C-alpha cells in the first residue's frame, strides 16, 4: 500500500481511494474532498503498479475541473493521465481515427448554431427572430444529448415552439443538418454522437481505445446525459474498471440532459460494484450543513453531511422591504465583514438569475467595494493579463539586472498598476485587480524562482484554467457557483418566483430548484446569510408583492435565525 498517496485521507476517503479494481461508486457530498479522492486513488494505483498513467482516462464536465485534476496529479508526481472533458476526449479520438477511416481530415466544429439555423430558416423562407432561433438551438441540443431522432422529438413535443409548429420545426432541424453536412461540420453535440457511432461501427477503433485506456474515472457522474453515458459504455467495453463519483443532490443540469439515475442506479447496472459514501464535510460550519441537510432531507440519494469545523455564527434569514433594500442591506453586511478583516475574495453573493446582479453591483460600488461577476472572460484571456504575460515573457529572455520580483513589479507598474486602487465599479478598477493578481502570484512564488520559470507557470496556469483569485467580492448565479467555495456566502432572492423561479412548474422542476438552493448553501464555509425581498423593485408603483420561498418553510426556523432588520428599516426611512 502506498503511504504517500493515501496519507492524509480520512477513513471514508481512504476506503474509496484503496479500491483499484472493479466498479466503484463514490457518493461524495459537497465539501467532502471528491477531487482529492479521485486524484489520490489514481496516484495510489500508479504507485502500487496497478495502473500505468497512460492507461488511465479521467473525464469530467469542464475544462477548469480537468485542469484542476491534472494539476493535483502533477503535485502527486503523476504525469501522463488523460484528464479531459467528455467533449475534448471525444474530439481527440475523432481527430485521431477519422483520417484513418475516411482518408480525410475530421470535420470542423460549428461555433454558433444560431447562425446556421438562420441560414437554414432563410432557405425555408421562415422569418424567425433571434430568440426563436435560440430556442430551436436549445431544442436541438436537448434532442441530441437525449439521443432522440427528429421524429421522436416531434412526438415528445407535439406543440412545437411559439410561432413555429411541429412540422415547421422538424423541417428546420432537417435543413440545419443539411447545411452542416454540406459544409462538413459538426456541432458540439455531434462530437459525442459521432465518436459513439465510430466506436460502435468500427471494431478496430473500439479495440484500440480499449487497449489504450484500461481504467476509467468519471467525475460529476450525476450530470451525465444519455449520450455521455452511452459513450462511457463504449469506452469501457467489456472491462469493469470504472470509478464514478457524484452527488445526486447537486444535479442542476437536467435541462441539458443530466440524469441522476445513472448515479443512483449504478449498483443495479454493476451488481459487483463497491459503494462508498463521503459525508464528512471539510468546508462548512455545522450551522451551514444543518440548513443544507434540512432542505434535502428525504430526497433521493441525499447524504447527511457532518462538519469537521467547530460551531460558529448561526446562519441567518432576513426579509427586506424590496430589491433595492436587499441589495443595500447585503452591501452593508459585506462592508462590515471587510471592516472586520475579511478579505473580499472570501465573500460571494449568489442568486438565481443574471438580472439580479445589477442592483447588487451598484450597491457595492456605492460603498467602494470592488466586485467581479463570475462567468465573464477567463482571467488569462483578459487583455491586461495577456499584455502582462507577453511583456514578462519577453523580459525573461533578456539579462535581468534587478530581482525577479522587482522586474515583475516594474513591468506591471508600467502598464498602470498603482499602490492604491482606482474607485470601484469601473473598467479601470477591473484592470487594476487583474494586474494586482499577477503581482500576488509573483509574491507567492517559491524562493529562487526565475522570471522564466514564473512565466512558464503563468502559461501552464492559462492552459489548465488555474486562475488566481481576484481580491474582489464575487457575484455568481447558482449554476456558475457549482464546484466553488467561499468562507462567507450571501444567498439572495429566496422568494417565490425567484427561487424557485417562476417558470419551474411540476415536481421535477421544483426539485431541480431545490437542488440549486442546496448548491448555493453548501458553497459557504464560515457564514451563510439568506435573504429575500417582500416586493420587487424599490417600492414604486410598479412593484409586486412577493412571498418567501417554499424552501425557507421546508428548512424551518430550527436552523435559520432571523437577521437584523435595521437595514430594512433605515432603507424605508430614507425613502
Cite the annotated binding site by residue number: 28-35
Within 168-261, strands assigned E span 185-186, 215-218, 242-246
Neighbours of 547 (CB within 10 A): 12
Taking the C-alpha atoms of 431, 433, 436 and 440 in order, what is their torsion angle to the nearest 10 degrees? -140
Cα–Cα dist 223/215, whole Å: 20
Pick the closest to residue 36 from 86, 88, 71 (CA basis).
71
Cα–Cα dist 534/511, whole Å: 23
80 near 107, Cβ under 8 Å?
no
Cα–Cα dist 279/91, whole Å: 35
Helices 203-212 and 86-102 cross at an angle (nearest 10°) of 130
Residue with cell 428525504: 298
400 near 451, Cβ under 8 Å?
yes
Q: Measure the CA angle with vertex 477, ends 498 and 313; round to 5°.
A: 85
C-alpha cell at 430: 477591473
User: Which residues define the annotated binding site for ATP?
Assistant: 28-35
Pick the closest to residue 259 from 208, 225, 213, 298 (CA basis).
225
Cα–Cα dist 82/55, whole Å: 8
Cα–Cα dist 14/568, whole Å: 49
Report CA-CA distances (Å) from 443 to 169, 213, 257, 439.
57, 40, 44, 6
Contacts of 567 (CB under 8 A, 6+ apart): 318, 320, 325, 328, 329, 332, 333
C-alpha cell at 201: 461501427
Pick the closest to residue 191 from 90, 260, 113 (CA basis).
90
Amino acid at each position: 500500500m502506498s503511504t504517500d498517496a493515501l496519507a492524509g485521507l480520512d477513513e471514508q476517503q481512504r476506503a474509496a481511494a484503496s479500491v483499484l479494481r472493479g466498479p466503484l461508486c463514490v457518493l461524495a457530498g459537497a465539501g467532502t474532498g471528491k477531487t482529492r479522492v479521485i486524484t489520490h486513488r489514481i496516484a495510489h494505483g500508479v504507485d502500487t503498479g496497478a495502473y500505468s498513467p497512460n492507461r488511465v482516462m479521467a473525464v469530467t464536465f469542464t475544462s477548469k475541473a480537468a485542469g484542476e485534476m491534472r494539476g493535483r496529479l502533477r503535485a502527486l508526481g503523476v504525469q501522463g493521465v488523460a484528464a479531459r472533458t467528455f467533449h475534448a476526449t471525444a474530439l481527440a479520438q475523432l481527430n485521431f481515427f477519422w483520417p484513418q477511416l475516411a482518408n480525410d481530415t475530421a470535420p470542423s466544429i460549428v461555433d454558433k448554431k444560431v447562425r446556421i439555423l438562420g441560414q437554414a430558416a432563410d432557405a425555408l423562407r421562415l422569418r424567425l427572430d433571434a430568440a426563436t432561433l435560440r430556442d430551436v438551438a436549445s431544442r436541438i441540443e436537448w434532442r441530441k444529448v437525449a439521443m432522440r431522432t427528429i421524429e421522436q422529438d416531434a412526438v415528445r413535443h407535439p406543440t412545437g415552439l411559439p410561432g413555429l409548429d411541429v412540422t415547421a420545426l422538424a423541417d428546420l432541424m432537417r435543413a440545419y443538418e443539411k447545411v452542416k453536412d454540406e459544409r462538413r461540420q459538426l456541432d458540439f453535440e455531434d462530437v459525442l454522437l459521432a465518436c459513439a457511432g465510430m466506436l460502435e461501427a468500427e471494431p478496430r477503433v473500439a479495440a484500440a481505445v480499449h487497449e489504450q485506456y484500461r481504467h476509467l474515472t468519471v467525475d460529476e457522474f450525476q450530470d451525465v446525459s444519455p449520450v455521455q453515458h452511452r459513450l462511457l459504455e463504449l469506452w469501457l467495453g467489456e472491462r469493469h474498471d470504472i470509478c464514478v463519483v457524484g452527488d445526486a443532490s447537486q444535479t442542476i443540469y437536467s435541462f441539458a440532459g443530466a440524469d441522476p439515475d445513472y448515479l443512483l442506479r449504478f449498483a443495479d447496472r454493476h451488481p459487483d460494484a463497491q459503494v462508498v459514501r463521503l459525508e464528512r464535510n471539510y468546508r462548512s460550519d455545522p450551522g451551514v450543513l444543518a440548513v443544507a441537510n434540512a432542505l434535502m432531507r428525504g430526497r433521493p440519494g441525499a447524504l447527511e453531511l457532518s462538519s469537521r469545523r467547530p460551531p460558529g455564527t448561526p446562519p441567518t434569514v432576513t426579509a427586506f422591504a424590496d430589491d433595492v433594500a436587499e441589495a443595500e442591506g447585503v452591501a452593508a453586511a459585506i462592508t462590515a465583514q471587510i471592516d472586520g478583516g475579511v478579505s473580499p475574495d472570501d465573500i460571494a453573493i449568489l442568486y438565481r438569475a443574471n438580472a439580479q446582479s445589477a442592483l447588487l453591483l451598484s450597491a457595492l460600488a456605492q460603498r467602494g467595494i470592488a466586485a467581479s461577476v463570475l462567468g465573464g472572460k477567463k482571467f488569462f484571456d483578459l487583455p491586461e493579463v495577456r499584455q502582462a504575460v507577453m511583456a514578462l515573457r519577453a523580459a525573461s529572455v533578456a539579462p535581468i539586472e534587478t530581482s525577479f520580483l522587482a522586474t515583475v513589479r516594474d513591468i506591471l507598474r508600467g502598464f498602470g498598476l498603482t499602490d492604491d486602487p482606482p474607485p470601484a465599479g469601473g473598467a479601470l478598477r477591473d484592470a487594476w485587480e487583474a494586474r494586482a493578481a499577477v503581482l500576488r502570484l509573483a509574491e507567492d512564488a517559491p524562493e529562487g524562482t526565475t522570471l522564466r520559470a514564473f512565466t512558464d507557470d503563468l502559461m501552464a496556469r492559462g492552459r489548465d484554467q488555474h486562475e488566481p483569485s481576484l481580491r474582489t467580492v464575487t457575484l455568481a448565479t447558482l449554476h456558475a457557483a457549482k464546484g466553488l467555495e467561499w468562507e462567507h456566502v450571501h444567498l439572495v432572492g429566496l422568494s417565490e418566483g425567484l427561487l424557485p423561479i417562476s417558470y419551474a412548474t411540476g415536481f421535477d422542476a421544483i426539485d431541480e430548484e431545490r437542488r440549486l438552493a442546496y448548491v448555493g448553501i453548501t458553497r459557504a464555509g464560515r457564514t451563510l446569510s439568506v435573504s429575500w425581498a417582500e416586493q420587487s423593485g424599490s417600492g414604486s408603483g410598479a412593484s409586486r408583492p412577493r412571498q418567501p420561498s417554499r424552501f425557507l418553510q421546508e428548512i424551518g426556523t430550527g436552523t435559520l435565525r432571523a437577521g437584523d432588520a435595521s437595514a430594512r428599516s433605515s432603507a424605508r426611512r430614507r425613502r
